């Protein structure tokens, strides 16, 4: 019972949407072993526990972008409702709403997955900074191999490039409908 789900499985469900690490309601429901409808129903009964920085509903454009970028849901296999997404804090709050033993154990694994994901991103940033430092140091001492070394640095930069998106503003947005 210690590991109902492997931590790697939970990690695969974490998506970067609007610069935030989130999980889709249907993926969470699958991990918890319940229907998406039941998960959302439990959340709606406790809506005061889920402010906009814990959970929000995707717009049609955001959802289409997520589907395209992450290859989720084949044509014809989608829900008629736009999905809710839960931030790390929202997933933690789910443990107070979903009280089964399985929900508790799955929540622990998901929290561990968020931590590992965060560490990976931090390590990625450290590697990128070390590469920049190394590149500037070599830049002062390069000789006839300038072009080859520059090409290597460029290739490594491309491999490490993370698309940085502006952070989503937290709070009430007048033009956005929350259900």
For residue range 122-177, list pLDDT tens digits in order: 777 777 777 677 666 655 554 545 666 667 777 777 777 655 555 666 666 566 55
Residue 24 pLDDT: 92
E-state strands within 15-171: 15-17, 20-24, 55-57, 84-87
Residue ranges and CATH numbers for the domains of the chain are 7-120 (3.10.260)
- Name, in order, each residue with C-beta under 8 angstroms of 147's C-beta and a sequence gap of 6 or more: none
Tell me the β-bridge partners of 153. none
The whole-model pTM stands at 0.58
For 64-71, the CB contacts below 8 A with 24+ separation are: 66/15, 66/17, 66/24, 70/15
């Amino acid at each position: 019972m210690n590991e109902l789900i492997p931590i790697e499985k939970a990690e695969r469900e974490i998506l970067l949407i609007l610069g935030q690490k989130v999980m889709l309601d249907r993926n969470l429901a699958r991990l918890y072993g319940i229907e998406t409808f039941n998960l959302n129903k439990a959340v709606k009964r406790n809506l005061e526990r889920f402010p906009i920085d814990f959970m929000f509903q995707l717009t049609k454009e955001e959802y289409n972008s997520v589907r395209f970028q992450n290859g989720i849901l084949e044509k014809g296999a989608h829900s008629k409702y736009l999905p809710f997404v839960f931030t790390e804090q929202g997933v933690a709050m789910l443990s107070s709403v979903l009280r089964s033993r399985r929900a508790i154990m799955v929540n622990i694994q998901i929290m561990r997955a968020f931590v590992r994901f965060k560490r990976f991103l931090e390590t990625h940033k450290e590697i990128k900074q070390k590469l920049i430092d190394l590149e500037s140091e070599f830049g002062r001492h390069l000789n006839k191999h300038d072009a080859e070394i520059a090409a290597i640095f460029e290739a490594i930069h491309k491999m490490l490039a993370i698309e940085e998106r502006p952070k989503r503003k937290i709070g009430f947005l007048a033009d956005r409908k929350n259900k």
